[in-house]
Amino acid sequence: MSRTIKTAEDRKKEIIQVAEILFMENGFNNVTTTTIAKTAKVAKGTLFYHFETKDNLADAVITSQLAPLKVIYQQVDNNLKWSPLQKIVWFFLSELDDPLEHVFAFNYLKNDDNAVLRQKLRIQMTEQFVPFIEKWLLEGTQNKQFDIDNSTLMAEFIFTSFHSWVETSIYGDNLALRNKRITFSLPLYAQILKLPENTFSPANMRKLLK
């Protein structure tokens, strides 16, 4: 029987998957590169060939975890039937209704041993997803749906403030409380974007996306 020869890319993906499991089970601070290499059944030289440091590997793990969510953002961005307002509504509603089932996906980051990963998540989410929000705000401003002066800063503020407000790694797993916080904040974002007060009410948002 011939032995399956794995490509370098396959090895890289396996290392990321193994590291992800180990970080989730034991915490980033408690997992060594030796343990990762041994569990992935690769030489340490192979691990360091793909990732110069454990920190680089941590970046790759977070990127991998965010990849499915980024695909959804891209699909929303490519939806020619939706207006910029509908796309912004989707952003808020996706956190309230959680159709992506992502709300508790990063609960393991509450562990203090995963503080490094928690910070990397915040950075990567901002870098990867704020540009979508900025694009939708700019397009909405151009077609008079929004009235804002600086779409870049507004996108950063909306995304980072909203996610900090509802982050489960800080405020816990009480979904009812989380949704209460979301509902409380939505009229404030409508006001910031100079929209009618009830634009971001859950009922109106769901109706808008039907």
pLDDT in tens, 53-91: 999 999 999 999 999 999 999 999 999 999 999 999 999
Query: Does residue 72 share a domain with residue 25?
Result: no
Long-range contacts of 133-138 (CB under 8 A, 24+ apart): 133/88, 133/91, 133/158, 133/159, 135/77, 136/77, 136/84, 136/87, 136/88, 136/91, 137/84, 137/88, 137/193
The predicted pLDDT at position 175 comes to: 82
Residue 60 lies in a domain: no
Q: What is the CA radius of gyration of the chain?
A: 20
The predicted pLDDT at position 1 comes to: 45
- What is the pTM (predicted TM-score) of this model? 0.90
Local structure of residue 79 (DSSP, 8 states): -
Residue 102 lies in a domain: yes
Residues 6+ apart with CB under 8 A from 169: 106, 107, 109, 110, 118
Tell me the residue range of the domain where 84 lies.
65-208
CATH number at residue 38: 1.10.10.60
The letter for the amino acid at 26 is N
Query: Does residue 88 share a domain with residue 23?
Result: no
Query: Does residue 76 share a domain with residue 128?
Result: yes
User: How many domains is the chain built from?
Assistant: 2
**Cα 120 from Cα 130, distance rounded (Å):** 15
Query: Does residue 69 share a domain with residue 48?
Result: no
Query: Does residue 43 share a domain with residue 20?
Result: yes
Query: Does residue 168 share a domain with residue 109?
Result: yes
Query: Does residue 97 share a domain with residue 41?
Result: no
Residue 59 lies in a domain: no
The predicted pLDDT at position 197 comes to: 85
Query: Does residue 162 share a domain with residue 108?
Result: yes
Residue 29 lies in a domain: yes
Residue 58 lies in a domain: no
Query: Does residue 77 share a domain with residue 164?
Result: yes
Residue 57 lies in a domain: no
160 close to 126: Cβ distance less than 8 angstroms: yes
pLDDT in tens, 130-187: 999 999 999 999 999 998 999 999 999 999 999 888 876 665 678 888 888 899 999 9
> Which of 14-18, 21-25, 111-115 is predicted with the least confidence, judged by mean pLDDT?
111-115
**Cα 140 from Cα 7, distance rounded (Å):** 45
Question: By three-state DSSP, how is residue 143 classified?
Answer: coil
Least Cα distance to 135 among 175, 88, 89, 205 occurs for 88
